[in-house]
Amino acid sequence: MRRARSYPRRVTTPPYVPDETAYDRRRLRQWRTGRARADGVARRDLMKLLAAAGLATGLPSALAAPASAAGAGIVKPLPEEWFTVRGTNAEAKFASFADTGHHTPASRFFVRNHTSTPQLDPKTWELKVWGSGLEGAGRTFTLADLKRLPAVTRSAFVECAGNGRSFFTTQQGQEVSGTAWTLGAIGSARWRGARLADVLRRAGVRRDAVDVLPRGLDPDYVTADGTNLGRVRRPLPIAKALDDVILAYEMNGEPLGPDHGAPVRVVVPSWIGIASIKWVGDIEVSAEPLYSPWNTDFYRLFGAAYPPEGSASLARQTLKSALELPWNASLSAGAGHRITGRSWSGTGAVARVEISTDDGRTWRRARLHDTPRRADWVRWSASWRPTTPGPAAILARATDTSGRTQPTATQHNTQGYLFDAVVRHAVTVV
């Protein structure tokens, strides 16, 4: 990664491309030698990361939501035509995006809550910035303070790292833990707010700061087995924090709604959704590397293909495509159908999208309906005139500007993160 002590004053282009693996290994070494802090992470959990062989079996089964009525902690209405409620979360029905524009209205944006939506008063809300990575004692910002800083607007998706998880099971026959999302744990919005970089500079960020830890004001997260992991929080390397991260107070031109982090949330473009902490109440800026359960037990890849301590902490999203069509939709034979969908990537803009209706033997280009941009999705369409009645599948695959194309299978990981394989979308030709 870029060395923290030589970061430029204002990072614009090229995009921050870290070497997450190297950074992660360095962090672990520092923790072992007492130079990194890990509040709220059980020592045994860190030992697990550090250990050599044999410890990969003690994996958390704790991604399950704590017992509560489905969707109970979500404030906005969750009509059935738009959402599938999964525990404390609500998945958007991707098919229903066919009648939305480029951006996902807040009323239709998926919700991923570890616990429940807190209703905070924007008039009394404060953001405390503190820690050993600052020159002085730190600083507190009100919402009015943030609004006095230069505002930036940016279109970006927020997508859960587990989006598409259920296809590990239904398409690859593999067991995974966690919310069984199909492909609707994503939305794209126009976010407006202050740059985190401006806030950190005003708080006196030092050149030796290495990690930034935003923490939510929602209730403590207690796992299914009763372990209290504290408030939702996840460290972000200082280089990313100073690059393109926003402290957003508006979504699609409206004040942020309660379920999406009101009054202020972090938006970390291109990164997995957990980085975009909602209801942020404080940000620790640290001169030592930090850990939380969300970059140790969770959001690493564990499994046969990975080292016992797991992969590096996950950062950028992967590449995916989804059809705006119900699962098992009926399409009449002999008629022309306009198939629509969206594709996105965390490692570059989408370069092209292809579809196949013969199980991947031949592919043809879909037409793109947006200018592809980094950290955002593109809408596309293709036509298909099926001839033979019976079960069939439509496959869509994207390639991004980094040169990656969606594979036919994703390497298994126990928590089902970053599913990027081509989804065989079942339809029935009638």
Ligand X SMILES: Nc1nc2c(c(=O)[nH]1)N[C@H]1C(S)=C(S)[C@@H](COP(=O)(O)O)O[C@H]1N2
Q: How far apart are CA 46 and CA 94, in angstroms?
A: 37
CB nearest Mo ion: which residue? Answer: 160
- Which one, of 247, 257, 300, lies nearest residue 60 by Cα? 300
Write out the H or E segment, with its range, that includes residue 144: helix 143-148
CB nearest ligand X: which residue? Answer: 216
Residue 279 binds ligand X, judged by CB under 6 A = yes
The crossing angle, in degrees rounded to 10, of helices 43-50 and 20-32 is 120
Nearer of residues 111 and 238 to ligand X, judged by Cβ: 111
Q: Which does 216 bind (CB under 5 to 8 A by kind): ligand X, Mo ion, none?
A: ligand X
3-state secondary structure of 1: coil
Output phi, psi for 189, to 5 deg.
-140, 165
Q: How far apart are CA 300 and CA 60, in angstroms?
A: 12
* End-to-end CA separation in angstroms for the chain: 54
Residue 186 binds Mo ion, judged by CB under 5 A = no
Site string for ligand X, 153-182 (x = CB under 6 A): -----x-x----------------------
Of the listed pieces 269-277, 308-316, 381-389, 411-419, which binds ligand X according to CB under 6 A? 269-277
Site string for ligand X, 108-137 (x = CB under 6 A): -xxxxxx-----------------------
Residue 44, exposed/middle/buried by CB under 10 A (0-12, 13-18, 19+)? exposed
Of the listed pieces 123-131, 165-173, 272-280, 361-369, which binds ligand X according to CB under 6 A? 272-280
Nearer of residues 45 and 91 to ligand X, judged by Cβ: 91
3-state secondary structure of 26: helix
Residue 273 binds Mo ion, judged by CB under 5 A = yes
Nearer of residues 160 and 262 to Mo ion, judged by Cβ: 160
* Unique residue bearing structure tokens 């029905």: 93
CB of residue 152 to Mo ion, shortest distance in Å: 24
* Binding site residues, ligand X, CB under 6 A: 109-114, 158, 160, 216, 218, 232, 260, 273-274, 276-279
